[in-house]
Amino acid sequence: MNQIVLMDCGSVVSKTITGLLSDACTLRNQNFGDSFDLHQTRMILMEATDPIEAVAAKVIKIRKSCCFRPIPIIVIKAEDNIESSEILLGAGATEVLALDAPPAACRQILQGHLIPNRKPLDKEMAYLTPFIENTITVLSKMAFVETTFREVFFSNDLKIFGEISGIIGLSGTSEGTVAITFYWDLARKIIANMMNVPMDKINAEYIHDGAGELINMISGSTKKRFKGTPFHFDLSLPTVVVGSGHQLGHPEGASIAVLIFDVGSESFILQVCLKPKNHGD
């Protein structure tokens, strides 16, 4: 369902967006202070009337509420400004549009963001399914948490709006990368369980080490499933990246499968980029 949320949008912006998109989407007005129900949301448009720092803080909260779903967040400002746009993009906005931009151009940009992300083919699920199963198994056995796989889509966007990622390089018969990404709260809970340490004792060093160990265990257990197949790989040493909006070093031009998992009301993702050498797509 193509439902678009107009967040904190005044009458002028609401009327403009209605004229551009009402023929293709259902529009719903909402205030930022209201509870977020993004289950059926395809896009969020927010008018930036507050100081830029306050708008960026709203974007960060909305992005986290998306639970890693690929929901475009479009911020509409009175005028174009490179510095403020960079702040908003760094906070998690997908696009920043100016009110005085040509309507035809705005319509084209917005419709482009409504194009759904690609779902995996059956042949791609052949290598994604073992990663899904082993992620659930590792979290259950090592951290004693029940993990549910929610969905998978492909993305070419290397920017991730979690807060910590463990990433490991793959080489050999096939090559690529695998990464796990959390927000701090869930990472702290999982790693406290995994290391048998009280949550109030978990610090940045524990989380850093735990994220690296988790991606190493998930990749290592999955590697065994691919022995003797075109998807077999060897592992590099894991590295850890922190900070909202960080970018990961996936191979250039590669398609990345984003696997979303739920742990209760919280979520994390596994990104898988794997391609056999000397084999067609």
Calculate what percentage of the chain has a pLDDT beyond 70.
96
Quick: pLDDT tens for 114-126: 888 899 999 899 9
Indicate whether 219 pLDDT > 90. Answer: yes
| pLDDT grade for 245, boundaries at 50, 70 and 90 | confident
Report the 10 Å Cβ neighbour count for 38: 15
| Unique residue bearing structure tokens 């940045």 | 204
- Identify the pLDDT of residue 1: 54
Is-contact 185 199, C-beta < 8 A? no
pLDDT tens digits for range 105-156: 888 999 899 888 899 999 899 999 999 999 999 999 999 999 999 999 998 7
Residues of the chain with CATH 3.40.50.2300: 3-113
Residue 281 has pLDDT above 50, yes or no: no
CATH assignment, 3-113:
3.40.50.2300
Query: Domain 122-276 - what CATH class?
Result: alpha beta
Tokens of 245: 């909006």
Residue 42: its H or E element: strand 41-47
Domain with CATH 3.40.1550.10 in the chain: 122-276
Classify strands 256-263 and 148-155 as parallel, antiparallel or unpaired: antiparallel
Q: What is the pLDDT confidence band of residue 228, given thresholds at 50, 70 and 90? A: confident
pLDDT tens-place string over residues 15-38: 888 888 877 788 889 888 877 777
Encode pLDDT of 48-57 as tens digits: 988 999 999 9
Local structure of residue 79 (DSSP, 8 states): S
